[in-house]
Chain A
Amino acid sequence: DTGVSQDPRHKITKRGQNVTFRCDPISEHNRLYWYRQTLGQGPEFLTYFQNEAQLEKSRLLSDRFSAERPKGSFSTLEIQRTEQGDSAMYLCASSKTGGNQPQHFGDGTRLSIL
């Protein structure tokens, strides 16, 4: 049983560069979520996909952030013109549709902005 996979695990980049993260959800899961976690805080919701449709975005998702889920399978999260404040752990989660299905999280991508 493969879980949620995220790539890369770590990313170090200079301020102003663009970065892209990938998430492969559990295969039969229709729902996919992106969260961001900073030190000492719980994960904060960024955006949500139901299959390939992006149905919800948080106010945290500025116009420098974009997420896609082509064909309703894997998802990518891109950050353009990175800033110091973007340094965080970016978590992906997936779940089945219907009721209160628990979300299964990947191990995250840690982004460090120099």
Chain B
Amino acid sequence: DQQVKQNSPSLSVQEGRISILNCDYTNSMFDYFLWYKKYPAEGPTFLISISSIKDKNEDGRFTVFLNKSAKHLSLHIVPSQPGDSAVYFCAVPGSARQLTFGSGTQLTVLP
């Protein structure tokens, strides 16, 4: 039973355009959501988070949107840069703050 789903294994966008990565979750009790970025041969790196009391959180080129009624969150990257090419994971914390991750989306930004 996947609590967090990322249905798009891959996404390609042109440099300078917007990248939109999506994540769906099943449990309406989740109160905090995170996005991590992972380059090959490196560990995941925390990118941005959002509390369930908000519907938007912005940090530079990265914005996360939360739609609680749809149990859906999305990560927008604008403008996309080649260095953004990585695997992006959404994650939710459990009772011990252990993270449950989605399966990830490979983003490729084409120059």
**A residues touching B (Cβ–Cβ < 8 Å)?**
4, 31, 33, 35, 40-45, 48, 55-56, 58, 91, 93, 95, 100-108
Contacts and interface: CB of A to CB of B under 8 A. Distances in A.
A43 B93 CA distance: 13
A100 B43 contact: no
Interface string B68-111: 00000000000000000000010101111111111110000000
28 contacts: A42-B4, A42-B89, A42-B101, A42-B102, A42-B103, A43-B44, A43-B89, A43-B99, A45-B94, A45-B99, A56-B95, A56-B96, A91-B43, A91-B44, A93-B43, A95-B97, A100-B32, A100-B51, A100-B93, A102-B49, A103-B46, A103-B99, A105-B36, A105-B43, A106-B43, A107-B41, A107-B43, A108-B43
A93 B93 CA distance: 13
A41 B34 CA distance: 17
A70 B90 CA distance: 32
Contacts of B96: 48, 55-56
A108 B42 CA distance: 7
A40 to B, nearest CB: 7
Nearest to B102: A42
A108 B98 CA distance: 17
Contacts of A100: 32, 49, 51, 93, 97
Given A40-B103, A42-B89, A104 B98 contact: no
A107 B41 CA distance: 7
A31 B99 CA distance: 13
B45 interface: yes
Nearest to B104: A42
